[in-house]
Amino acid sequence: MTTHNGINLKSRRELEIMEEAGRINARALLAALKVAHPGATTADLDAAAEQVLRESGAKPAFRGYPGAYPFPAVTTISVNDELVHGIPGKRILRDGDIVSIDCGSIIEGYVADSALTVGVGEISEVAQALLSATMDALFVGISQMKVGNKTGDISAAIQEFVESQQFNVVREYTGHGVGRKMHENPQVPNYGIAGRGVELRPGMTIALEPMVLAGAKETRVAQDQWTVSSADGELTAQFEHTIAITDAGPRILTLLDPELDAQDAFRYNGYFVGQAEPMEKKRSMQS
């Protein structure tokens, strides 16, 4: 690892380790996704993800993370108007809910971080539009993650796309560098001005995470001092990948391996890459 202007640049070997952590993280998210049905609790989803991390020899990046008190779970599970940092527990998922699942995995001291939002049973048209716009915003942002571009190019592209879909991006919470630590430099907001910010260099690794609100952009923090929700109670969604900046273009580190993960890779990557399957098939995963 080398450092440039306070930003850690990863070597090829370090990127390989982060990609293995990312694969495990994808498997954990998929395990949680498979139990995200009406009647399941948010703790059930967390337990499914934890089992994958434990069996894979990965450490959870979220459990014990400092805040008002150490975060108590492996994942954050946020439902409907809850945007991020929801604590898994006894809450029962119901038909029509949308649930955001965020997880971080550590392998050999390196972190991978990713998240997705899915529908539980039959969801509303507004919820479906929100999920589609948020996932598409992630890939709009990734398309700007080229050597020589600025972080502001990513931020501006996400904001412009989301607002064109008649939604809002959150202001208080951002994408971020990731590697030896969960949060490294640079910060990458979901709003900004093109041409400004930090120049992208090979070896930078960023957890890019559009967080989108169906209503106003304001948020509030719950009494548990972790869960962040929309201030107006409207629906929210989040999608996230860990991305490496390379001379060959952006490299997604948080996908499944088609050779090692077989049909799960086709299903998960086809949904989460946003390209391998048509939108109708992608949407079928959310029912």
State yes or no: pLDDT of 107 exceeds 50. Answer: yes
Structural domains of the chain, count: 1
Strands (E) in the chain, as ranges, are 2-4, 7-9, 59-60, 75-79, 82-84, 98-107, 110-119, 168-169, 175-177, 184-188, 205-208, 211-213, 219-221, 228-230, 236-238, 241-244, 251-252
Q: Decide: 107 and 25 in contact? Cβ < 8 Å.
A: no
Q: Decide: 193 and 200 in contact? Cβ < 8 Å.
A: no
Structure tokens at 73: 């779970």
Q: pLDDT at position 286, please? A: 37
Give residue-wise pLDDT tens across range 139-180: 999 999 999 999 999 999 999 999 999 999 999 999 999 999
Q: pLDDT at position 273, please? A: 61
Tell me phi and psi for residue 199, to 5 degrees: -75, 140
What is the rounded average pLDDT of the residues 89-105? 98
Give residue-wise pLDDT tens across range 12-39: 999 999 999 999 999 999 999 999 999 9
Question: Can you give the CATH number for the domain in which 10 is found?
Answer: 3.90.230.10
Q: pLDDT at position 5, please? A: 78
**What is the domain extent for residue 28?**
2-284
Q: pLDDT at position 89, please? A: 98
Structure tokens at 120: 């539980």
Give the helix ranges, DSSP H, for 143-249. 151-164
What is the rounded average pLDDT of the residues 51-72? 98
Give residue-wise pLDDT tens across range 223-274: 999 999 999 999 999 999 999 999 999 999 999 998 888 888 887 887 776 4
pLDDT band at 47 (very low <50, low <70, confident <90, very high): very high
Give residue-wise pLDDT tens across range 180-205: 999 999 999 999 999 999 999 999 99
CA-wise closest residue to 221 among 42, 60, 68, 43: 68
Q: pLDDT at position 254, please? A: 96
pLDDT band at 287 (very low <50, low <70, confident <90, very high): very low
Distance, in Å, from the CA atom of 8 to the CA atom of 177, rounded to the nearest integer, reads 8
Q: pLDDT at position 69, please? A: 98
Q: Of 1 and 35, which is predicted with more confidence?
A: 35
